[in-house]
Amino acid sequence: LTYLLSRHDLPEPPAPPTTLRVGFAGPPGAGKSSLLEAFGMYLLEQDPDLQLAVVCIDPSSGISGGSILGDKTRMTELSRQDRAYVRP
Protein backbone atom coordinates (compact mmCIF):
# COMPACT_ATOMS: atom_id res chain seq x y z
CA LEU A 1 0.00 0.00 0.00
CA THR A 2 2.82 2.40 0.84
CA TYR A 3 4.39 1.67 -2.54
CA LEU A 4 1.14 2.41 -4.38
CA LEU A 5 0.56 5.62 -2.46
CA SER A 6 4.08 6.84 -3.18
CA ARG A 7 3.72 6.50 -6.97
CA HIS A 8 3.19 9.76 -8.83
CA ASP A 9 1.45 8.30 -11.87
CA LEU A 10 -1.80 7.52 -10.08
CA PRO A 11 -4.81 9.33 -11.50
CA GLU A 12 -6.05 12.43 -9.72
CA PRO A 13 -9.17 11.92 -7.65
CA PRO A 14 -12.31 13.32 -9.26
CA ALA A 15 -13.34 16.86 -8.38
CA PRO A 16 -16.04 17.14 -5.75
CA PRO A 17 -19.54 17.59 -7.16
CA THR A 18 -20.68 21.14 -7.73
CA THR A 19 -24.35 20.42 -7.14
CA LEU A 20 -26.37 21.53 -4.18
CA ARG A 21 -29.62 20.02 -2.93
CA VAL A 22 -32.00 22.10 -0.86
CA GLY A 23 -35.32 20.96 0.57
CA PHE A 24 -38.38 23.01 1.49
CA ALA A 25 -41.03 21.48 3.71
CA GLY A 26 -44.13 22.69 5.47
CA PRO A 27 -47.87 22.34 5.75
CA PRO A 28 -50.23 23.13 2.85
CA GLY A 29 -50.56 26.87 2.26
CA ALA A 30 -47.33 27.77 4.08
CA GLY A 31 -45.85 29.42 0.97
CA LYS A 32 -43.31 26.80 -0.08
CA SER A 33 -43.89 27.37 -3.80
CA SER A 34 -43.68 31.15 -3.41
CA LEU A 35 -40.47 30.88 -1.40
CA LEU A 36 -38.97 28.42 -3.87
CA GLU A 37 -39.80 30.63 -6.85
CA ALA A 38 -38.29 33.72 -5.19
CA PHE A 39 -35.20 31.76 -4.11
CA GLY A 40 -34.76 30.21 -7.56
CA MET A 41 -35.10 33.56 -9.34
CA TYR A 42 -32.59 35.10 -6.93
CA LEU A 43 -30.06 32.32 -7.61
CA LEU A 44 -30.47 32.66 -11.38
CA GLU A 45 -29.97 36.43 -11.16
CA GLN A 46 -26.81 36.03 -9.07
CA ASP A 47 -25.03 33.52 -11.34
CA PRO A 48 -25.47 33.66 -15.13
CA ASP A 49 -23.94 30.17 -15.49
CA LEU A 50 -26.23 28.50 -12.98
CA GLN A 51 -28.74 25.88 -14.05
CA LEU A 52 -31.57 25.02 -11.71
CA ALA A 53 -33.86 22.00 -11.42
CA VAL A 54 -36.91 21.85 -9.17
CA VAL A 55 -38.51 18.52 -8.30
CA CYS A 56 -41.76 18.83 -6.35
CA ILE A 57 -42.72 15.82 -4.27
CA ASP A 58 -45.74 15.19 -2.10
CA PRO A 59 -44.81 12.16 0.02
CA SER A 60 -48.25 12.12 1.61
CA SER A 61 -49.99 11.48 -1.72
CA GLY A 62 -51.07 7.86 -1.91
CA ILE A 63 -52.38 8.31 -5.44
CA SER A 64 -49.54 10.03 -7.30
CA GLY A 65 -46.82 9.17 -4.81
CA GLY A 66 -44.90 12.21 -5.87
CA SER A 67 -45.12 15.27 -8.02
CA ILE A 68 -47.51 18.12 -7.36
CA LEU A 69 -48.72 19.63 -10.64
CA GLY A 70 -49.98 22.73 -8.84
CA ASP A 71 -46.44 23.76 -7.88
CA LYS A 72 -45.48 24.31 -11.50
CA THR A 73 -48.53 26.46 -12.11
CA ARG A 74 -47.70 28.53 -9.03
CA MET A 75 -44.05 29.02 -10.09
CA THR A 76 -44.89 30.66 -13.42
CA GLU A 77 -41.93 33.04 -13.57
CA LEU A 78 -39.35 30.43 -12.60
CA SER A 79 -40.77 27.76 -14.90
CA ARG A 80 -40.37 30.09 -17.91
CA GLN A 81 -36.65 30.62 -17.37
CA ASP A 82 -34.35 28.91 -19.89
CA ARG A 83 -31.91 27.87 -17.17
CA ALA A 84 -34.60 26.44 -14.88
CA TYR A 85 -36.48 23.16 -15.10
CA VAL A 86 -39.54 22.63 -12.94
CA ARG A 87 -40.78 19.05 -12.99
CA PRO A 88 -44.54 18.88 -12.77
pLDDT for 17-71, tens place per residue? 788 888 888 887 788 888 999 999 999 999 999 999 998 876 665 655 555 555 6
pLDDT of residue 11: 74
How crowded is residue 88: how many other Cβ atoms within 10 Å of its Cβ?
Answer: 13
Expressed in angstroms, the distance from the first to the final Cα of the chain is 50
Torsion of CA 42, 82, 48, 67, to 10 degrees: 50
